[in-house]
Structure 1
Amino acid sequence: MNAAEQATSVEFASKIATAVRIFKTHFPDLRVDLKPWTPDQDTQAWVDPDSIDLGFHFPGVSRAFKCRSLLVQIRFYHDPIEASRRVIGIDIAGFSYRGKQWALSTIERWEFVGTDCPEVTAGQQLKQCCQEVFDLFNQSQTQDVTEN
């Protein structure tokens, strides 16, 4: 779901802004898109309500990433027993004018797959961003649950 639509509280909006800042700290040239999904019926059928979706755009084609845009999906799990919400994975895809070039999922092996994957250093920085986003949402969630 578009990040702009998921910002339903001040605390959660702040976490979304911090997640954006994490990516922009590592890659200052990125421009953020808080509404990467179009509102048409076909696109909305594929939207995951348990995710925060962010788009990032380079000023041109990034040689290191071999793409122009990144789609980042931060996936959550709602635990009804503990009444908590935590990140279970992050999926990132790199797009160019030729379409999807590569994908990274933290759900299994944290490996890039695709036709034209990022350079090693860029890929490592992207994985570092993912780890920082995990820490951002899950650390504070654990503290919130234990305080109640």
Structure 2
Amino acid sequence: MNAAEQATNIELTSKIAAVVNLFKSQFPDARADLKPWKNDPDTRELVDPDSIDIGFHLPGWSRRWQSRSILVQIRLYQDPIENLRRAIGLEVVGFNHTGEKWRLSTVQDWQFVGEVQPNAQTIDQIKFFCRQVFELFN
């Protein structure tokens, strides 16, 4: 779900802002998009209400990223015991004008898959960002 729509209270709004700042601390040229999904019926059917989705756009195509836009999806779980929303996984996906180029999922083995991959330094920075997001939410 678009991050802008998930910002329903001060705590979650602050965490979304912190995620943007964490990403920009690693990748200062990126521009955040808190509404990466269109608001149409077809898209609405695909949106996960238990995620916070933030897009990041790079100035032009990036060789180190092997993409132009990045989608960060933070998967959430409502803990019924502590009544908190916790992050249970992140999906980070790189796109260019032809579609998805690579993907990282923290749910299993934190491996990049796709037809291309970012360079080694960028991979390390993305994984560091993911660890920081887990710390923020958990």
Deviation at 1:83, TM superposition (A): 1.7
Indicate the SS of the match to 2:86: strand
Counterparts of 1:116-127 in structure 2, within 5 Å, are 116-127=116-127
Residues 23-62 of structure 1, C-alpha deviations (whole Å, 9 max, x = no match): 0000000000000000011111110101000000000001
Partner in structure 1 of residue 98 of structure 2: 98
Runs (5+) with no aligned partner, structure 1: 139-148
Counterparts of 1:78-117 in structure 2, within 5 Å, are 78-117=78-117
Structure showing greater radius of gyration is: 1
Superposition RMSD on alpha carbons, in Å? 0.7
Q: TM-score, normalization: structure 2? A: 0.98
Partner in structure 2 of residue 63 of structure 1: 63
Distance in 1 (CA, whole Å) between partners of 2:14 and 2:31 is 18
State whether structure 2 residue 37 is matched by structure 1 residue 37. Answer: yes
Q: Percent identity?
A: 57
Partner in structure 2 of residue 12 of structure 1: 12
Distance in 2 (CA, whole Å) between partners of 1:80 and 1:18 is 24
Runs (5+) with no aligned partner, structure 2: none
Deviation at 1:82, TM superposition (A): 3.0
Distance in 2 (CA, whole Å) between partners of 1:121 and 1:82 is 37
Letter in 1 for 2:121: T
Letter in 2 for 1:53: D
Distance in 1 (CA, whole Å) between partners of 2:58 and 2:97 is 13
Residues 88-112 of structure 1, C-alpha deviations (whole Å, 9 max, x = no match): 0000110001110000000000010
Deviation at 1:12, TM superposition (A): 1.1
Indicate the SS of the match to 1:81: coil
Partner in structure 2 of residue 145 of structure 1: none
**Aligned pairs, how many?**
138
Between stretches 120-129 and 80-89, larger displacement belongs to 80-89
4+ residue segments displaced more than 3 Å: none
